[in-house]
Amino acid sequence: MITKIATLGSHTALNILRGAKDEGFETLLIASKKRSFYSRFNVADKIMYVDNMGEFLAQKQNTFGKDSVVVPHGSFISYLSIDFIEKEFNVPLFGNKFMFRWESDRNLENEWLKGAKIHTPKVFDDPSEIDRLAIVKHFGAKGGRGYFLARDYNDFKKKSSGITGEYQIQEYVIGVPMYFHFFYSPLDREVELLSIDRRYETNVDSMMRIPADDQKELGIAPSYVVVGNFPLVIRESMLEDVFDMGEKVVKMSQKIDDKGLIGPFCLETICTPDLEIVAFEISARIVAGTNPFIPSSPYTYLKYGKDISCGRRIAMEIKKAIESDSLEEVTT
């Protein structure tokens, strides 16, 4: 009998555990010893401190017990290999872990978004094809550190000397970033929009505070390291396009894997001056951009008439699945 929601101490742990408690679950947090701040918040019934998270998850899964569902987040995925998660992680995970491979590999991700037939940036297979402003992303780059913009092949050659390994060259879409947090409920067969955020990225978000002439002199290379998130709402008339995009991505996920997306997912987009929403990345799990929406977001409040965060929405789905004896529909 599932009575407990567990997660790891990072990313959206506070959000997940608060939501779990609000829905009446017991909560368990596995945290690294350096993160004692978790005990300052009243969200975990039990905190287990470990020395090495990767090792713990690989060797001590029985700690979770038979009464737990684990909610994975961005850090969970970075602690373990996708192979390990797919084949050896035995505790029920909320969501579809078989979609993680598709969000983690830029080529598969591109196949998914393209297959969904939503707007995506052009991808240049070879640097010699660059015919407009492009952003070069190498696969290993953490937080967009080391990404660079190139206007054409010559510019690419000048800036690419440090690149090793695989990279993807995307058209740089001019517009504003908007990150849409969706939730697909297999129980209700419905795509919900939970919330929207934009990120606070250092140093790109500080560039415009420095006059262009000084920027040139200083030769600052932009980085996109996320340190925070702002809440957003979208022009109401654009909501139809937003739901359409979310639904197409879910449909495509069901072609990729029988279960398809389950629970929270996020489309990272740029909104152009022509009001086109161009998706350049997808996350197949809860994202940190949902954190400003504790306890609620405008969209969840509109739908439910009460305060619902992403963490709580997850717990609601788990609860409903337990009550209807269909836990296998929302876990993998």
Among 281, 297, 299, 310, binds ligand ADP (CB under 6 A): 281
CA–CA separation, 250 vs 272, rounded Å? 23
Q: How many residues bind ligand ADP (CB under 6 A)?
A: 17
Identify which of residues 92 and 177 has a Cβ nearer to ligand ADP in the complex.
177
Give me the residue label for tokens 């695989």. Answer: 166
* Closest approach of ligand ADP to the CB of residue 104, in Å: 10
Are 194 and 285 a contacting pair, CB within 8 Å? no
Q: CB-side exposure of 23: number of CA atoms within 13 Å?
A: 26
User: Angle at CA 21, nearest 5°, toward 46 and 103?
Assistant: 90
Q: Quick one: which of 280, 288, 291, 321 contacts ligand ADP (CB under 6 A)?
A: 280
Spell out, one character per residue from 218 to 247, where the chain touches ligand ADP: x when CB under 6 A holds, - when not.
------x-----------------------
Choose the binding region for ligand ADP from 57-65, 137-145, 153-161, 321-329 (rule: CB under 6 A). 137-145
> What is the arrangement of strands in the sheet containing 134-138, beginning at the earlier edge strand?
123-124, 167-171, 134-138, 148-150
Terminal CA-CA length for the chain: 16
Q: How far apart are CA 74 and CA 94, in angstroms?
A: 13
Query: 328: which DSSP letter?
Result: G
The pair phi, psi for residue 36, each rounded to 5°, is: -70, -15
Binding mask 168-197 for ligand ADP (x = CB under 6 A): --xxxx---x--------------------
Q: Is 121 in the site for ligand ADP (CB under 6 A)?
A: yes
Q: What minimum distance in Å lies between the beta carbon of 173 and ligand ADP?
A: 4
Q: Which residues bind to ligand ADP, rule: CB under 6 A?
A: 121, 135, 137, 143-144, 170-173, 177, 199, 201, 224, 268, 270, 280-281
